[in-house]
Amino acid sequence: MKIAVAAALALSLATPARAQDFLSGPVSLANGIVTLGSDIAVSATPQDDTNGAWFNYTDYEHNALRLFRIGVTADVRVTSRVSLLTEIRSENGDGVKPYALYLRVRPWRDRPIDIQAGRIPPTFGAFARRDYGAGNPLIGYPLAYQYLTTVRPDALPASNEDVIRMRARGWRPSYPLGSLNIAPGMPLITAFRWDTGVQVRVGPESLNAAVAVTTGTASDPRTRDNNGGKQIIGRAEWRPNAGLILGGSAARGPYVSDEALATATFLAGDARSFQQALGLDVELSRNYWLVRGELIWNQWQVPTLSHSLDAASGFVEGTYKVSPGFFVAGRFDRLNFGALPSSLNSPTWDAPVTRIETGAGYYIRRNFLAKLAYQHNWRDGGLIRSRGLVALQLHFWL
């Protein structure tokens, strides 16, 4: 079905020039008051990444290399200073969801200040802020933004040994406290859900900062709060010249649900339940090269444990433009976990992962991109410790 949709899309784009002109960009209505766009991406791999591997499993319980995503965007200009922006999206036919829905207000015309409220764009990090598809030169996602750890917001371990037993089982961890249902864990920072809250951005493009107060945390953004706290996120970005971008991010907020926390507090007498994260990112472009990298440190405080669950991740990726419309790319990625004392003598509380992904992309037309990639994963634990995967993606947008 996904391949058939992709083939139909390719055939529709091979029509006469008049149809191609119509499909070249967003549609403007009502004298520019309403602007509509669309985004369609089909990713496929002949190899199964389940059955004990789950290297590309997401918090929406999808395989990131086997994904049919369709989205419709709308920008409604209410006044010269107020706009309503939204994106309605569906993945693998699971139903339509509001990926983004927020109000943007510019209080002053001559001052670079934006206020955004609702389901807002991510504040933390650089990768999650890129456009899907065209903003990612490869098909897979960096580990920090996609790979599921064994931490859950609704279920808690009773001991260090409970954590170690779930090592490399982020796709289905289970714990004795809180929810007894089996459910996916959380990535360090999710790239698949946007925050809900209020964000203030100050400064020009060359040097700006943003602060947001949101529901949920960077690893578990929520539209409905599951506890009484709020997350505070901040980001600063500096562009000293046209080819260099430096950024830094920080976030802190409670991630454990009230139901799980009530059980943990009753047993352990401790209500520590914060996620804390720091991030540094850089982008360097020169001639035909584009190099990006990020470092992320993350800590989850678990109310039933005397030690926090620490993790650190970093990746570097490069893109080289071989000719007009054709590029090659590669990414090296690593996710490490901290130590956790236990009688099971495990070196880390979760299994460290290394990922290398290489690929190439070709712009069939300005807004129609085909990508082919090979990804290899290594992990220090789990049923399957090594897996190589080939994937193809077709991406069309307006």
Tell me the per-residue pLDDT of 61-104, one tens digit each, with 9 for 90 and over. Answer: 888 999 899 999 999 999 999 999 999 999 888 888 888 999 99
- Report pTM: 0.90
Over residues 129-157, mean pLDDT: 90
Minimal CA–CA distance to 55: which of 371, 372, 357? Answer: 357
Across 175-184, 265-274, 306-315, least confident range: 265-274
Work out the average pLDDT over 289-310.
95
Q: pLDDT band at residue 11, thresholds of 50, 70 and 90?
A: very low
Q: Burial code of 345-358, b = ≥16 C-beta within 10 A, e = fewer? A: ebebbbbbbbbebe
Is residue 130 over pLDDT 90?
no
| Cα separation of the two ends of the chain | 23
Residue 206's alpha-carbon distances to 106, 127, 183, in angstroms, are 18, 19, 42
Average pLDDT over residues 362-382: 94
Q: Once rounded to an integer, what is the mean pLDDT over residues 48-63?
A: 78
**How sure is the predictor about 383, in pLDDT bands with cuts at 50, 70 and 90?**
confident
pLDDT at 105 over 90: yes
Can you tell me the mean pLDDT for 218-234? 92
pLDDT for the residue 18:
43
pLDDT attached to residue 266 = 64
- Percentage of the chain surpassing pLDDT 90? 71
Helix, strand, coil distribution of the chain in percent, nearest 5: 10, 50, 40
Query: Which range, of 78-82, 128-132, 184-188, 351-355, averages the lowest pLDDT?
Result: 128-132
Q: Which residue has the higher pLDDT, 101 or 17?
A: 101
Does 267 have pLDDT greater than 70?
A: no
Q: How far apart are CA 387 and CA 380, in angstroms?
A: 12
Q: Taking 80 as the threshold, does the pLDDT of residue 2 lie above it? A: no
In contact, 297 and 312? CB cutoff 8 Å? yes
Backbone CA torsion sign across 344, 345, 347, 353:
negative
In the three-class reduction of DSSP (H, G, I as helix; E, B as strand; rest coil), residue 275 is classed as: strand
Find how far residue 296's CA is from the centre of its chain: 13
Helix (H, G, I), strand (E, B) or coil at 127: helix
C-alpha distance from residue 266 to each of 163, 256, 260, 262, 314 (Å)? 20, 14, 10, 6, 37
Q: Catalogue the E-assigned strands of 216-288.
A: 231-241, 244-254, 274-286
Q: Once rounded to an integer, what is the mean pLDDT over residues 252-259?
A: 93
What is the spatial distance between Cα 72 and Cα 77, in angstroms, rounded to a whole number? 17
Instruction: Please state whether 93 falls in left (phi above 0), alpha (psi between -120 and 50) or beta.
Output: left
Query: pLDDT confidence of 361, banded at 50, 70, 90?
Result: very high
Residue 10 confidence class, pLDDT cut points 50, 70, 90:
very low
Which pLDDT score is estimated for 133? 63
* Residue 373 backbone dihedrals phi, psi, to 5 degrees: -145, 150
Instruction: Give the range with max mean pLDDT: 16-30, 200-214, 266-280.
Output: 200-214
Instruction: Give me the mean pLDDT over the 241-247 stretch.
Output: 95
Q: With 60 as the cut, is the pLDDT of residue 329 above it?
A: yes
Strand 326-337, strand 353-365: pairing = antiparallel
Q: Residue 270 has what pLDDT?
A: 57
The pLDDT value given to residue 332: 98
Average pLDDT over residues 178-191: 93
Could you tell me how many helices (H) and strands (E) the chain has, helices first? 5, 19
List of domains in the chain:
2-397 (2.40.160.10)
Residues in CB range of 195: below 8 A, 6 or more apart: 119, 120, 121, 122, 123, 212, 214, 215, 216, 221, 231, 233
374: which 2 tokens?
């090979």
| Per-residue tokens: 312 | 């650190």
Chain-wide mean pLDDT for the chain? 89
Q: Are 393 and 43 in contact (CB under 8 A)?
A: yes
